[in-house]
Structure 1
């Protein structure tokens, strides 16, 4: 039996006849060549399976599995169980890799054994029209998380890694419980679970991944990736950090109120809001007093910042740092 490869690429796919070949070609063009590609055709109704099997016939590194269409998480669990390598890379059937993606990501993990995984800096593209400004802003933010500390501090802002761009240590993923199915984004939930267990993650520069945007992406069509589901997931992992502690919630707007209500389902409530809106300061919101930034003072308890306005997070960080608050110890950003 041949020795296991260094990397197993997990590629779940459904109805990607028009893009799968391009994705596979980008993998076959990798400068690092010691890998296998596991394609899981999850109930495709087009010619996806034929594309995959033809690719496998011409490249022994490609193996094709087939499932009944039970969804992404069951497909990922099957792929993870089938993987033979100690490192597992993710890939989707409509994206493209830079030729040095696997080479550079493996080097990053080899250089830092404390890392459970790395993502890659990304570029976005569409075939039909320009990518939306909001998605471009998200990608720009992802690309700043190049240290474990930066990613850890921003883990509750949004999902801090592009899932199809990651390379993970298989044993760390399995030790943390693998992929889980539920009313949440399976990737962000895994990142939060790894980080809460003490593992470290970061993004690798430069841009090594081309991420396709289109209207059929699950992030647009599945309730597990909705704003409501994201807030519930944040609250689930924030609540243990706040339980039994006095905490302040900076943000009495839409984002802050949504998080406050989600945290309440875990028995956790702030003792005060902080907000800059002059008509809110000095009032009570859902029974909780609203104070202004000038009332923050030196560190006490913990503070969670949940403000969605552009630039607000940087301003809040600067304000708190000037007062002696240390991120991670005294405050957490969640918006």
Structure 2
């Protein structure tokens, strides 16, 4: 396999009634080799149709009913493992990938076998594409471990996951609704490293229909439960993280979004 081959990589994208956004997202991938795609249709009505996009070999796994992103991702990982896929590249309908994102991530993970999950920095934009702010979390596994309970260290739709490691860690779970990614990463870090590439790999669409807005209280409660489970009393960032989760429970969504835009202005390094 050459450096540009992506035969062991598959894009994993759950979708629920998001045909148009799904097609735009998949069309954003620009790689130097063909890429497999697994769409997990989470009970859409009408069912998601596989688009025809050059360079992408697209398959659909249909869930019998809408069971939520946690179960859709769990089923997707199981399906990719059964097909012998080594790396699952996450993205969500409505988001956009930067050129050669997958090749860059795969090369890093091949060179760093201890890394089970690899993210990239993220441009956060409006549904119209206007910049809101940038997410540039730590890249080093040690730094990530220190602040993992204080801030979001990974942009979930930017992640590349080592499928075998995810399965060994127990896969995605529905135990922590709307915080299934944090739950998974914390379990992965018990036996592996997780890291970020210090470059932008994703344009993340922030809208008021997304999980961060519509399930904000559920997400904050799940995050707080995880923070308390993994809490380290001697680590100051853990205390700050708990305080932030409480703030998410009491502050309106629009106020939080405005605060993030002031703290992380677009273009900031």
Q: Indicate the residue corresponding to 1:172 in structure 2.
A: 165
Q: Indicate the residue corresponding to 1:88 in structure 2.
A: 88
Which whole-Å deviations, capped at 9, do the CAs of 1:32-63 have from their partners, x for residues lacking one? Answer: x25310011112235x613xx2327x766110
Using the alignment, how far apart are the partners of 1:227 and 1:202 within structure 2?
23
Using the alignment, how far apart are the partners of 2:237 and 2:19 within structure 1?
47
Tell me, yes or no, if the aligned pair for 2:34 and 2:56 is still in contact at 8 Å: no
Residue 255 of structure 1 pairs with residue 243 of structure 2: yes
| 1:67-216 mapped onto 2 (5 Å cutoff) | 67=63, 68-83=65-80, 84=83, 85-128=85-128, 136=133, 139-140=134-135, 143-184=136-177, 185-195=179-189, 197-216=190-209
Which structure has the larger Rg over C-alpha atoms?
1
Tell me, yes or no, if the aligned pair for 1:73 and 1:179 is still in contact at 8 Å: yes
Answer 1 or 2: higher relative contact order, Cα 8 Å, separation at least 6.
Answer: 2
Q: From the superposition, tell whether residues 24 and 255 of structure 1 become closer, same or farther in structure 2 (CA, over 3 Å).
A: same
Tell me, yes or no, if the aligned pair for 1:131 and 1:213 is still in contact at 8 Å: no
Q: What 5-or-longer segments of structure 1 have no aligned partner?
A: 260-308, 311-335
TM-score, normalization by structure 1 = 0.63
TM-score, normalization by structure 2 = 0.78
Q: Indicate the residue corresponding to 2:31 in structure 1.
A: 30
Q: From the superposition, tell whether residues 190 and 250 of structure 1 become closer, same or farther in structure 2 (CA, over 3 Å).
A: closer
RMSD across aligned C-alpha pairs, in angstroms? 3.1
Tell me, yes or no, if the aligned pair for 1:30 and 1:98 is still in contact at 8 Å: no
Q: Report the CA distance between 1:105 and its aligned residue.
A: 0.5
Q: From the superposition, tell whether residues 75 and 226 of structure 1 become closer, same or farther in structure 2 (CA, over 3 Å).
A: closer
Q: Indicate the residue corresponding to 2:10 in structure 1.
A: 8
Using the alignment, how far apart are the partners of 2:56 and 2:144 within structure 1?
37
Of the candidates 221, 231, 238, which is equivalent to residue 224 of structure 2?
231
Return structure 1 stretches of 4+ with deviation > 3 angstroms: 128-132, 223-226, 246-252, 256-259
Q: From the superposition, tell whether residues 129 and 102 of structure 1 become closer, same or farther in structure 2 (CA, over 3 Å).
A: closer
